[in-house]
Structure 1
Amino acid sequence: MRVLLLLLSVMALTAVGQEKQCHGADRCNIGDRSYHIKLPDDWDGMTPLPVLMHFHGWGRQGDLIIQHQRISGHTRRRGVLLIAPNGRGATWDFWTSTSRDVPFAAAVIEDAAKRFPIDRDQIFVSGYSYGAAMAWRYACENGDGVAALLAISGTLAQTESCSQAPQEVRHVHGLADTVMDFPMGPSEDQTYPVKLWRDMFGCDEPKNEGAWQAVNWLTLDRHEWDCAKGAVTLDIHDGGHFIPHGWIGWQLDQLMGRPPQYP
């Protein structure tokens, strides 16, 4: 009997250890929900990790994100822990301030912090398409602990009223996007996609920083604002609905004080 009890105890401890270190294709379970993690290359197992929590697009799940070269291909080279929550029904509830996915995503970060050491000063929240709208919603309702919002081809209505905000906002959108249409402002105002944050941060007139490229086949036009609090950046390109090559890595490099590079 004692041998059996000892064996069961060892099996239980092993299961707990495996659950604690979930990553990659193995889901990290939290209640009846889950998320995925991608560890960076060459992590020493002790140094606190900057975090990028990325919300997947409609019809996807987090297992795609941790394999995506335009997302995890950049985080793993920069010492950043990638966290990819799974939306219910492969989508997100971002439509109102009562979103059930905001507390879920906040709980995901706390759960990940129990499994791996994280750098609380470098928590970045990102998303693509519907996931970008969810990232906006998260920042709008729970952004006080977020160093930067990195949104790709998806927003909320610019008339939303946010209770919280991240320290910085960076948004990229294609003028030819027909899935999550480029939110053009009155009189063809191309800076309208970030009006919500500009108003909230008390920003001045934009500075057009001109064209830049992470890769030579895609040119982006950058606008930046000086703000009373926070910072806002908008990148515009002539393309459609996609994650621009190198965009996430370029932003992470700049936010972490490194020379931008690709990949």
Structure 2
Amino acid sequence: MICRLLCLLLLTASPTLAMGAWNSDCHGDTACQVGDRSYHVLEPDGWDGETHLPVLLHFHGWARQGTVVVKHERIAGATKLRGVLLVAPNGLGKSWDFWTSDTSDVLFADRVLEDVAKRYPIDRDRIYVSGYSFGGAMAWRFACESGDDIAALLGVAGTIRQTENCPEAPREVRHVHGLGDTVMDFPFGAEGDTTYPVALWREKYDCQTAIPRGEWSVVPILTLSRVEWSDCAQGQVVLDTHPGGHFIPHGWIGWQLDELLGRTPAYP
């Protein structure tokens, strides 16, 4: 759905926009309006104004807004250094309706991406969707309902029910969650199964074998443990867990973007 809409926008764009120039009167703290709702956007450092940009659509946590996202060291700090356009929608009442498929927030996010494509030359093959906490659950909901044209879902400490039946799916899923999370509780499976947080996507992709990739860290203060499913009939799934609670791990988003963009992973 997203791809078809963006293709139409590119075909109908003005000659200047079609050539790669951009025209946006809103960025950073200044919100971009989409009907009666809004979002924030942040260009990467050193962008030449013409190169097509990968996009990270990031849903903020509960009681937050996009202004927090575009200033957040662990989110904006990652995109600015990697040539990625950061897009941060504003939830109604500073929250998201991700509980069921009957939500207007998915359509709103689609409209946000349509509007971004009018303002910036974006790389339609590299649209990544992320979110933290309630925003992580919203990112899952968006990927579930409108994810066929998404390159990857990067979920942080928030999911939807693993029994959901998703009509669409991104090409790849990466999720991180703390075993000690008591805000968006870590979704342990039967007999304490720590791979259950991505059971929905493993079933959707028809993945068979969990491959432990061992412990790894971006910063010395936190060690993560990675399990990967790469023998799926479609896509692949990566799950990182850590012993901590409810937070975005230092460097995690940047590390995932580096791997997805074919860069040598680095911090920050």
Matched, 1:116 2:120: yes
How far apart, in 1, do the equivalents of 2:23 and 2:119 lie?
A: 9
Equivalent position SS for 2:217: strand
Q: Which residue of 2 aligns with 1:243?
A: 248
Q: Which residue of 2 aligns with 1:129?
A: 133
Matching residue's letter, 1:159: T
- Return closer, same or farther for 1:19/1:259 CA change in 2, 3 Å cut-off: closer
Answer yes or no: is the 8 Å Cα contact 2:136–2:158 preserved in 1.
yes
Aligned mate of 2:45, from 41, 50, 74 = 41
1:156-195 maps to which residues of 2 (within 5 A)? 156-195=160-199
Answer yes or no: is the 8 Å Cα contact 1:19–1:28 preserved in 2.
no
Alpha-carbon displacement from aligned partner over 1:14-55 (angstroms, at most 9, x marks no partner): xxxx98331001000010000000100000000000000000
Structure 1 or 2, whichever has the larger Rg, is 1
Matched, 1:71 2:75: yes
Equivalent residue pairs, number? 246
1:1-263 maps to which residues of 2 (within 5 A)? 20-226=24-230, 227-263=232-268
Matching residue's letter, 1:91: S
1:98 Cα offset (Å)? 1.4
Q: Which residue of 2 aligns with 1:13?
A: none
Equivalent position SS for 1:205: coil
Matching residue's letter, 2:220: N
Equivalent position SS for 1:190: coil
1:99 Cα offset (Å)? 1.0
Alpha-carbon displacement from aligned partner over 1:42-100 (angstroms, at most 9, x marks no partner): 00000000000000000000000000000000000000000000000000010111111
How far apart, in 2, do the equivalents of 1:60 and 1:19 lie?
A: 27
How far apart, in 1, do the equivalents of 2:120 and 2:67 lie?
A: 19
Answer yes or no: is the 8 Å Cα contact 1:36–1:84 preserved in 2.
yes
How far apart, in 2, do the equivalents of 1:149 and 1:176 lie?
A: 22
Percent identical residues:
63
Higher percent of residues as strand? 1
Alpha-carbon displacement from aligned partner over 1:149-176 (angstroms, at most 9, x marks no partner): 0000000010000000000000000000
How far apart, in 1, do the equivalents of 2:82 and 2:24 lie?
A: 23
Q: Which residue of 2 aligns with 1:7?
A: none
Q: Which residue of 1 aligns with 2:11?
A: none
Matching residue's letter, 2:150: V
How far apart, in 1, do the equivalents of 2:241 and 2:166 lie?
A: 24
RMSD (Å), alpha carbons: 1.0
Q: Which runs of 4+ in 1 moved over 4 A?
A: none
Equivalent position SS for 1:242: coil
Gaps of 5+ in 2: 1-21
Answer yes or no: is the 8 Å Cα contact 2:23–2:120 preserved in 1.
no
**TM-score when scaled to structure 2?**
0.91
Answer yes or no: is the 8 Å Cα contact 1:175–1:236 preserved in 2.
yes
Alpha-carbon displacement from aligned partner over 1:96-152 (angstroms, at most 9, x marks no partner): 111110000011011011001100000000000000000000000000010000000
**TM-score when scaled to structure 1?**
0.92
Gaps of 5+ in 1: 1-17
Answer yes or no: is the 8 Å Cα contact 1:148–1:166 preserved in 2.
yes
Q: Which residue of 1 aligns with 2:7?
A: none
Matching residue's letter, 1:108: V
